[in-house]
Structure 1
Amino acid sequence: MADMFITLGTWNWLIFGLLLMGLELLAPGVFMFWLGLAAFLVGVVSFVVTPSWQPQILLFALFAAAAVPLWRRIARQKPGVNPNPFLNKRSDALVGRICTLEKPIVDGEGIVRIDDTVWRVAGPDTPAGSKVRIVQADGASLTVAGI
């Protein structure tokens, strides 16, 4: 076991780092990546300075311990502007849109076709073919008002 530590070299750390990062692909969880990065950094440092095995182990421990707060900081960063704010809220994206009634609104209920989807609408009684504006979305039901 002592021989293994004594023979720790640059290539061992680089291979160990790449192996840990590769394991991250098999079992994603972001934990192995940071340990792999720490091992890879020890390998890079070992290229410049050739420390004995004790400082190498110490450097690995320091890099690995420093990676945890770094990862937390990166993970807690506020995401940027969402490029698709209506993802999973399709009906909310329809508010304000003007469409034509496919079936008349009778007793407060009717049907409108928007793109390739038929939507149930609620609003004042209106004949089929009339233009209406969507004023509210509640799940799969839309509330409309005449124009």
Structure 2
Amino acid sequence: MADMFASLGTWNWLIFGLILMGLELLTPGVFWLGLAAFLVGVLSFALDPVWQMQILAFAVFAVAAVPLWRRMAQAKPGADDNPFLNKRADALVGRVFTLEKPIVDGTGTVRIDDTVWRVTGPDAPAGSRVKVVKADGARLTVAAA
């Protein structure tokens, strides 16, 4: 076992790091072990440490990379750029539209851009202005504007 560790060389660490990084592509969010092995390989080029120091450096890099990776993962820029992404109906709440078909017995339609939406609310004639007060899936609840 000691012979195996003693034979650890720069290229072994670099190849091990690249293999781990490749495997870590299959499990998103976990990438610090491959980076740690790769850094030990780079460090071995410069300093040529004994195998005990290489193992210690790998452990230190792996442990130090975890909080660094978590901090980077939490700071996702642009996560709130479009809060209504995949929530198209929620983006319509508060807007005012003209009824395409009258609301009769609590149901009617309104055209928004190229889509006809079902609306529920108090009875109103076609052409009336209504304000969207609630979105529930593909049905909008409206009130007189």
* TM value normalised by structure 2: 0.84
**Partner of residue 122 from structure 1, selected from 111, 120, 123:** 120
Cα distance in 2 between the residues matched to 1:105 and 1:3 = 83
State, as a whole percentage, how many aligned pairs show the same letter.
74
Give the 3-state SS of the residue equivalent to 1:102 in structure 2. strand
Give the 3-state SS of the residue equivalent to 2:89 in structure 1. helix
Q: 1:18 to 1:97 in 2, by over 3 A?
A: same
Report the CA distance between 1:76 and its aligned residue.
4.0
Cα distance in 2 between the residues matched to 1:86 and 1:19 = 39
Q: 1:81 to 1:112 in 2, by over 3 A?
A: same
Give the 3-state SS of the residue equivalent to 1:86 in structure 2. coil
Aligned AA (2:65): A
Report the CA distance between 1:85 and its aligned residue.
0.6
Cα distance in 2 between the residues matched to 1:73 and 1:52 = 32
Name whichever of 49-58 and 122-131 sits farther off: 122-131
Cα distance in 1 between the residues matched to 2:76 and 2:20 = 28
**Partner of residue 105 from structure 1, selected from 93, 103, 106:** 103
- Structure 2 residue 42 is the aligned partner of structure 1 residue 28: no
**Structure 1: 4+ residue segments shifted above 6 A:** none
Counterparts of residues 131-142 of structure 1 (less than 5 Å) = 131-142=129-140
Could you report, residue by residue, the CA deviation over 1:88-125 in whole angstroms, capped at 9, with x for unpaired residues?
32211112323222211112221112223322212232
Give the 3-state SS of the residue equivalent to 1:83 in structure 2. coil
Counterparts of residues 31-50 of structure 1 (less than 5 Å) = 31=30, 33-50=31-48
Structure 2 gaps of 5+ residues are none
Name whichever of 75-84 and 65-74 sits farther off: 75-84
* TM value normalised by structure 1: 0.83
- Structure 2 residue 89 is the aligned partner of structure 1 residue 94: no
Structure 1 gaps of 5+ residues are none
Name whichever of 49-58 and 123-132 sits farther off: 123-132
Q: 1:7 to 1:81 in 2, by over 3 A?
A: closer
Q: CA RMSD for the aligned pairs? A: 2.2
